[in-house]
Structure 1
Amino acid sequence: MRIILLLLACFSTIWASNGEDLTTTWVGILSLIIFVVGYYMVAAEENYHINKAKPALFMGTFIFLLIGIYNFSNGIDPSALTHSVEHLILEISQIFFFLLVAMTYIEVLIERQVFDTLKYNLVSKGYSYKKLFWLTGALAFFISPVADNLTTALILSTVLVTIEKENPRFLVPGAINIVVAANAGGAWSPFGDITTLMTWMAEKAPFTDFFYLFPASFLGWLVTAWLLSLYVPSDKPHFDVTTEPKVSVLMGGKVVIALGVLTIVSAVLCQQLFKLPPMWGMLFGLSLLKLYSYRLKRKKGEELNTFKMIGKIEHDTLLFFFGILAAVGGLHFLGYLDLAVKLYDSAGPTVVNIGVGFLSAIVDNVPVMSAVLKANPDMGMDQWLLVTMTAGIGGSLISFGSAAGVGVMGKLRGIYTFGSHMKYAWTVLVGYLLSLIIWYVQFEMLDLY
């Protein structure tokens, strides 16, 4: 935590020295302090026994209230603030509704015993903890490019916790493995992560050229997974065929799986072809699920209460995302993120792009990537792919540094925490550094892109 605070202090000193926007005013300094303290409370949630959504929501809303007070007291036209908040609400709502639908589908799949059936099939085969560790990690890496890293992490963390609910020696490395695999898998696909989608939409690299990041992403995850596997127990989960009743998918479960796939496809099509927000396709998929639940009850007499499933999702996770994105949006309005990109002129693109990975773990990769795209530094495609990769996989360095990490924290509450992640964070760092080395050899030395 001291390292995080030191990094933020260094960045604030660099930015404030340029004296632009509101960074050197009382509202800028106070907002930065609130942000640092709020993030500390998020990171130390298990120490203070406070839900991470509470400090996140407070700092996200209070920063903008402070900006409003500053404008009012100085007679500043509030139109710029109003426009910024309206744009921020649009961005947050898209993520909010996307997650709402994804989490609802997961809860319905849980209720239909889909994950229990998968767990039964895996455990009944006599797989060891290590084999289950590798299976869930590999699935996360290869599913996230097709879907997205958050949805993939939510699904596989649910499978993980149904396999074993109490053993932290398996759950913590397994959770980290899923987060790293989902983020690494999403980094080499244009719609595997929000950062890659933003870069592709800005036409910084053609669609197929993102696949050149596959070697760096794959080998980086593989090394981290191998190091984590050394801590996974070699024994098997408890399973007694005489006492464990066979579990099968309930009526309609397979159709829900198909509707889930269709929902993801519709979200991708909305973004790729129709130029609509992906959440529009997700909400369309939710409507299909609700219509199917109506048909299932009318024709088969089977109850599938989707509204009840919505009530079971982790609403605190959604509020956490709202608070964090709002807080970072406030810092962006104050000028901190815009000033950060000036480092490109002094340090060079490679150094800064590598640093973006560490910064995205502390703050959030989406606003950081947005700031880089808005600054539009003069870089070649190799550098744009580098910053896309570092922003995508850099969030794995800290548990709440990526959407996938936050989602898994919600699923494994009290087990996968900031503290438990940091015990193994060095393994993630080794994989991250290896990805950078592979990128340098492939792009800068061999020109294989």
Structure 2
Amino acid sequence: MEHGSVVEGVAQAVTHVSLATEWVGWLSLAVFIIAYYFIATEDKYEVNKAKPALFAGTFMFMLIGIYHAINGMNPDALHDELELLILEIAEIFFFLLVAMTFIETLIERGVFDLMKYKLVSKGYTYKKLFWLTGLLAFFISPVADNLTTALILSTVLFTIDKKNLAFLVPGAINIVVAANAGGAWSPFGDITTLMAWTAGKGEFVDFLYLFPASVVGWVITAFLLSMSIPSGQPPFDASTEEKPVVCDGGMVVAYLGVATIAMAVLGHQFFHFPAMWGMMFGMAILKLYSVQLTKTGRNSFNIYVNMQKVENDTLLFFFGILSAVGALHFLGFLHYIHNLYESFGPTVSNIGVGFLSAIVDNVPVMSAILKSSPSMGLDQWLLVTLTAGIGGSLISFGSAAGVGVMGRLHGIYTFGAHMKHSWTILVGYIASIAVWYVQFEVLGLY
């Protein structure tokens, strides 16, 4: 039996009274809405999104505990809910921790600096660089995750030309859309896909069937964006640009990263291990490799120093937001989502999820859907994975990739600049859904 089905079975066995209409329900909902306001306006108030998310996620359960104590209720149901929630969060938390550590090690070894140099030194035109950065984003994000991919390639973009907004803005949008689309068809590429996979909504290979819909949607959007890319090529002076050198073991770390992902997949498929178990084993091997480099007198790396560079605010944000959604689930609010699916049907509801994820962010939306667990087949679970993953591209702050690029290209890639080109993303989104419909519902190719 898959881990996800075990969790669902235990969750269904835990019964408790809905508290959505009690004072604790309304107060918790207010805390969630206020916290999410500060998450969405992170740049305006300069309050890191992890802080309101973490506060809301922990405080809402504190309120529930107080309500139980005041009313003399049996705390067993609350205890069981928290145990399941901790297990769910830990799987995602440790998985991302290892993935980010590998990325930081590759950055420290200079692997990405060399990639950046090779791109800008080839003398490519703006249009070629636009397509190359998009292709790299689409094919790197399934392995490295969409946020990390978008951050790295937006830095590359800014290195190419710091002043040409006609190139930078469409190029940044292209990277965000490509990273989100590429992440949608891989369990490692987007946190929402990872959540669906670890919840047992599909096998690893099932998500690969989303490749046609993902690539067609991105290519159409990229083609429309490319029409606004200026002609010519960026300036590059080989005499002033020094070629980066990859430090000892840089490429071996890259191979170890690929092997670690393979171990996570195989362990999950054949032994039903949580995906993070294979990732942690890969972390152990990476540490042993650093020891071997030191013993042989080569330029080694300190894995703990690289771990310090990991974006802990992102990890804590996921902890907080998943906890908050878990509290809403315990209070009974997510039952209304189940009712919406019953009323409008899964296809219409899942398409709507894409638009909702652009406004609210796809992580809490996907978490809410998984916890409400509407009755759907594999085709519909893959549809909601697709729409939640790529729907966040419709608005600049609708995905982690978009938020990351807004911070990296501050004052260049803005909400207003994104919205001027949002129609191209909408066309690609519709095309992705059309491909899904033909492939899954008409031809049954999955």
TM-score, normalised to structure 1's length? 0.83
Aligned to 2:4: none
TM superposition shift of 1:187: 3.1
TM superposition shift of 1:203: 7.2
Q: Summarize the Cα distance change of 1:397–1:334 in structure 2 as closer, same or farther, 3 Å threshold.
A: farther
TM superposition shift of 1:426: 3.5
1:255-266 alignment runs, 5 A limit? 255-266=252-263
2:267 to 266, 270, 273: 270
2:306 to 274, 284, 309: 309
Whether 1:103 and 2:64 are equivalent positions in the alignment is no
Kindly provide the amino acid, as one letter, of the partner of residue 343 in structure 1. Answer: L
Aligned to 2:176: 179
Q: Distance in 1 between matches of 2:150 and 2:360?
A: 20
Aligned to 1:113: 110
TM superposition shift of 1:117: 0.9
TM superposition shift of 1:299: 0.8
TM superposition shift of 1:345: 2.4
1:224 counterpart SS class: helix
Aligned to 2:66: 69
Q: Summarize the Cα distance change of 1:28–1:236 in structure 2 as closer, same or farther, 3 Å threshold.
A: farther
Q: Summarize the Cα distance change of 1:296–1:409 in structure 2 as closer, same or farther, 3 Å threshold.
A: farther
- Alpha-carbon contact 1:338-1:371 (below 8 Å) kept: no
- Alpha-carbon contact 1:43-1:418 (below 8 Å) kept: no
1:58-97 alignment runs, 5 A limit? 58-97=55-94
Aligned to 1:223: 220
Kindly provide the amino acid, as one letter, of the partner of residue 318 in structure 2. Answer: F
TM superposition shift of 1:305: 1.9
- Cα offsets for 1:179-235 (capped at 9, x unmatched): 322332343456655555666677766766655533322211112222333444445
- Alpha-carbon contact 1:187-1:196 (below 8 Å) kept: yes
- Alpha-carbon contact 2:350-2:380 (below 8 Å) kept: yes
Q: Distance in 2 between matches of 1:380 and 1:175?
A: 35
Aligned to 1:332: 329
Q: Distance in 1 between matches of 2:394 and 2:203?
A: 28
Q: Summarize the Cα distance change of 1:337–1:72 in structure 2 as closer, same or farther, 3 Å threshold.
A: same
Q: Distance in 1 between matches of 2:43 and 2:363?
A: 26
**Quick check: 84-93 or 359-368, which moved more?**
359-368
Q: Distance in 1 between matches of 2:314 and 2:432?
A: 30
Q: Summarize the Cα distance change of 1:211–1:155 in structure 2 as closer, same or farther, 3 Å threshold.
A: same
TM superposition shift of 1:257: 1.4
Aligned to 1:295: 292
Q: Distance in 1 between matches of 2:184 and 2:219?
A: 14
- Alpha-carbon contact 2:58-2:323 (below 8 Å) kept: yes
2:245 counterpart SS class: coil
Kindly provide the amino acid, as one letter, of the partner of residue 47 in structure 1. Answer: K
- Alpha-carbon contact 2:60-2:327 (below 8 Å) kept: yes
Structure 2: unaligned runs, 5 residues or longer: 1-16
- Alpha-carbon contact 2:334-2:372 (below 8 Å) kept: no
**Quick check: 353-362 or 55-64, which moved more?**
353-362
Q: Distance in 2 between matches of 1:370 and 1:99?
A: 16
Q: Distance in 1 between matches of 2:107 and 2:158?
A: 12
Q: Distance in 1 between matches of 2:385 and 2:210?
A: 9
Percent of aligned positions with the same letter in both sequences?
69
Q: Distance in 2 between matches of 1:109 and 1:428?
A: 31
Kindly provide the amino acid, as one letter, of the partner of residue 76 in structure 2. Answer: S
Aligned to 2:21: 24
- Cα offsets for 1:132-169 (capped at 9, x unmatched): 22112212323444665456545545654555667665
RMSD: 3.2
Aligned to 2:278: 281
TM superposition shift of 1:71: 1.7
2:137 to 123, 135, 140: 140
1:152-167 alignment runs, 5 A limit? 152-153=149-150, 156-157=153-154, 159-160=156-157, 163=160
Q: Distance in 1 between matches of 2:37 and 2:371?
A: 29
Aligned to 1:15: none
Q: Summarize the Cα distance change of 1:43–1:166 in structure 2 as closer, same or farther, 3 Å threshold.
A: farther
TM superposition shift of 1:272: 1.8
Q: Distance in 2 between matches of 1:150 and 1:188?
A: 15
Aligned to 1:353: 350
Aligned to 2:429: 432
Aligned to 1:128: 125
Q: Distance in 2 between matches of 1:284 and 1:209?
A: 25
- Cα offsets for 1:381-420 (capped at 9, x unmatched): 5434433322332233344544544565676677656666
TM superposition shift of 1:34: 2.0
Aligned to 2:7: none
Q: Distance in 2 between matches of 1:282 and 1:165?
A: 37
Aligned to 2:38: 41
Q: Distance in 1 between matches of 2:37 and 2:436?
A: 33
Aligned to 2:242: 245
- Cα offsets for 1:358-393 (capped at 9, x unmatched): 233444545645655566655555434433322332
2:296 counterpart SS class: helix
- Alpha-carbon contact 1:409-1:417 (below 8 Å) kept: yes
1:29 counterpart SS class: helix
2:334 counterpart SS class: helix
TM superposition shift of 1:105: 1.7
Q: Distance in 2 between matches of 1:45 and 1:132?
A: 31
2:72 counterpart SS class: coil
1:89 counterpart SS class: helix
- Alpha-carbon contact 1:356-1:391 (below 8 Å) kept: yes
1:275 counterpart SS class: coil
Aligned to 2:10: none
TM-score, normalised to structure 2's length? 0.83
Structure 1: unaligned runs, 5 residues or longer: 1-19
